[in-house]
Amino acid sequence: MAKIAHLRCTNCGETYDFDINLKLCKKCGSGLSVELNYSDKFEYLDSQIGLWKFASILPEVKEIFRISLGEGNTVLHRSKRIENELGIKELFLKDETVEPTGSYLDRSSALFMSFALMYGIKRIITYSTGNLGASLSAYSSKSGISLQAYVKQGIDLGKLYQMIAYGANVSVVEAFKELKSKEGAVVVTEYDPLVNEAKKTIMSEVFHQLNFRLPDYVIVPMGEGGLAYATYKALNELKFFLKNIKNPKTRIIGVQPEGCAPIVKAYFRSSSAVEPEITPKTRIFDLNIADPKFGNAALRVIKETEGIAVSVNEEEILDAISFLAEKEGLLAEPAASLTIAALKKLIEHKEIKKESTVVCFITGSGLKDPRILKELALRKSNLGTLIEELSGGKTLSSTKVKILKILSEKDAYGYQIWRELKEKYELNIRIPTVYQHLLDLINDGYVKKSETITTSGRKRIYYKLTDRGKALI
Ligand SMILES: [Zn+2]
């Protein structure tokens, strides 16, 4: 294992003695990197479980304190169908959806919780946008250390369910305050130096799985920017240990959602300093990070590797979820399918050469986000009414469903709908009742007024289905 030398600021370079309570640089507030004195050569230890196969490049933890739920060692899929579709030479998907709690952060929880055990910590406090809290909850069960998780409203439901099921104590807060560690309790967040350090093992693993070669591009999602930095660190370690590495140049591509893309904006400003996003607005909750702690570091490593920073919009992200699921049988959460959305965009814009080898990190499972799954199902299937009912939504009466069916064939006015209900469905109701149903359907967002046409001096208001109505029917 590697002994910790010190913590180094990823922005200003200031160094500090290692302290599990020190999370950010005292000078500039940026994320810290755990710098190591590598004693051994880099070896992949098959005899060890989970993350600990990479013990030779991880901060030292005595074996009796090492915790694992079998994280890491995830599949690297060759994606032939997407290669053909996009016309790219080689595409690999690093499938972190199969981690014990469905997220790449299980690697981080394994390392942090093992340190916590080694330091005799009894209680962990976290504030999390979702995945880290869910992951730490599972590892706190395994280690017997209690966990207090603070989450914000809007958290993905699946992640909240996970935390509760694993037995964490969960509280909902309006905003995350910079919590301080208390006696016997330690705070852990996504930008924690140990949490970030573990993320580098994804790239190290990819290198082994590609038979000791490196891809031309690696595409990673960016929230705090830590994964981009950790990937760069892994690439440097590989070059340090393996002098004759083939194709040493791997470009790092970092992706953010359009509604919250402070690192991408700095990249396009050609600035070396990331400015906080003033009004972040994205439903990709895990990437809604206005002031990324590894932002400047991520920007620097993208530039240094001649990579690219790119943002994608929500439509592109939803399309990418479907694309990945339909082409590869891999169901990713929105924050993870971002990398596929970026790949498509960059190939279309000819920013990635087609004769390249590309690796996309798929960082988390789609099963964690029932709301997005429902939205996709409504867009893609004709089982809308059943889905609404099963998911506890509004159940529409059979008359309303019939009105929607009539409107799915053509736009129609009130009397016409009344007549069709009578003739087609043998339904005898009064005309005012039809208008009441139409009003309800408008209020629920399934129907809207389309146009008013005057025929023989009589005004007729036509009704049509909204996109929501079309999806439902
Ligand atoms: Zn600093």
For residue 412, list its beta bridge partners.
Answer: 463
More confident residue, 152 or 1: 152
> For residue 160, how far is its CA from the centre of ligand 1 (angstroms)?
33
> For residue 293, how far is its CA from the centre of ligand 1 (angstroms)?
10
> For residue 222, how far is its CA from the centre of ligand 1 (angstroms)?
20
Asked: is 381-472 a CATH 1.10.10.10 domain? The reply is yes
* Number of neighbours of residue 345 by Cβ within 10 angstroms: 18
Length of the chain: 473
> For residue 264, how far is its CA from the centre of ligand 1 (angstroms)?
21
Average pLDDT, the chain: 91
Reply yes or no on whether the pLDDT at 186 is more than 90: yes
Reply yes or no on whether the pLDDT at 419 is more than 90: yes
Question: Are 106-193 and 381-472 the same fold in CATH?
Answer: no
Would you place residue 457 in the very low, low, confident or very high pLDDT band (cuts 50, 70, 90)?
confident
Reply yes or no on whether the pLDDT at 225 is more than 80: yes
Reply yes or no on whether the pLDDT at 181 is more than 70: no
Q: What number is the average pLDDT over the span 206-227?
A: 95
pLDDT at 283: 82
Reply yes or no on whether the pLDDT at 67 is more than 80: yes
Q: What number is the average pLDDT over the span 253-262?
A: 97
Rounded Cα gap, residues 144 and 231, in angstroms: 31
Would you place residue 129 in the very low, low, confident or very high pLDDT band (cuts 50, 70, 90)?
confident
257-259-262 Cα angle (round to 5): 80
Question: At 213, which amino acid appears?
Answer: R
pTM recorded for the entire structure: 0.84
Reply yes or no on whether the pLDDT at 463 is more than 90: yes
307 close to 264: Cβ distance less than 8 angstroms:
no
Reply yes or no on whether the pLDDT at 451 is more than 70: yes
Q: Is 267 helix (H, G, I), strand (E, B) or coil?
A: helix
Rounded Cα gap, residues 175 and 376, in angstroms: 29
Would you place residue 178 in the very low, low, confident or very high pLDDT band (cuts 50, 70, 90)?
low
Would you place residue 434 in the very low, low, confident or very high pLDDT band (cuts 50, 70, 90)?
very high
pLDDT tens column, 9-47: 999 999 999 999 999 999 999 999 999 998 767 788 889
> For residue 262, how far is its CA from the centre of ligand 1 (angstroms)?
19
Answer left, alpha or beta for residue 64, where phi above 0 means left and psi between -120 and 50 means alpha. Answer: alpha
> For residue 272, how far is its CA from the centre of ligand 1 (angstroms)?
14
Would you place residue 190 in the very low, low, confident or very high pLDDT band (cuts 50, 70, 90)?
very high
pLDDT at 456: 82
Considering the domain delimited by 106-193, tell me its CATH architecture. 3-Layer(aba) Sandwich (3.40)
Would you place residue 81 in the very low, low, confident or very high pLDDT band (cuts 50, 70, 90)?
very high
> For residue 446, how far is its CA from the centre of ligand 1 (angstroms)?
52
| CATH classification (class only), 68-102+196-364 | alpha beta
> For residue 10, how far is its CA from the centre of ligand 1 (angstroms)?
7
> For residue 12, how far is its CA from the centre of ligand 1 (angstroms)?
4
> For residue 178, how far is its CA from the centre of ligand 1 (angstroms)?
17
Provide the total of helices (H) and of strands (E) in the chain, helices listed first.
17, 16
> For residue 115, how far is its CA from the centre of ligand 1 (angstroms)?
24
> For residue 37, how far is its CA from the centre of ligand 1 (angstroms)?
21
More confident residue, 286 or 265: 265
> For residue 119, how far is its CA from the centre of ligand 1 (angstroms)?
26
Reply yes or no on whether the pLDDT at 239 is more than 90: no
> For residue 15, how far is its CA from the centre of ligand 1 (angstroms)?
8
> For residue 8, how far is its CA from the centre of ligand 1 (angstroms)?
8
Reply yes or no on whether the pLDDT at 183 is more than 70: no
pLDDT tens column, 109-122: 999 999 999 999 99
299 close to 267: Cβ distance less than 8 angstroms:
yes
Q: What number is the average pLDDT over the span 452-458?
A: 84
pLDDT at 97: 96
pLDDT at 3: 86
Would you place residue 361 in the very low, low, confident or very high pLDDT band (cuts 50, 70, 90)?
very high
List, as one string, the DSSP characters of 23-47. Answer: -B-TTT--BEEEEEE--S-----TT
- Domain residues of the chain, as ranges? 68-102+196-364, 106-193, 381-472
> For residue 303, how far is its CA from the centre of ligand 1 (angstroms)?
19
Q: Which residues crowd ion ligand 1, with CB under 5 Å? A: 9, 11-12, 14, 25, 27-28, 30
216 close to 249: Cβ distance less than 8 angstroms:
yes
Answer left, alpha or beta for residue 114, where phi above 0 means left and psi between -120 and 50 means alpha. Answer: alpha
> For residue 31, how far is its CA from the centre of ligand 1 (angstroms)?
8
373-330-251 Cα angle (round to 5): 110
> For residue 25, how far is its CA from the centre of ligand 1 (angstroms)?
5
Choose among 19, 63, 22, 131: nearest CA to 367. Answer: 131
pLDDT at 40: 66
pLDDT at 347: 96
> For residue 9, how far is its CA from the centre of ligand 1 (angstroms)?
5
Would you place residue 428 in the very low, low, confident or very high pLDDT band (cuts 50, 70, 90)?
confident
> For residue 312, how far is its CA from the centre of ligand 1 (angstroms)?
30
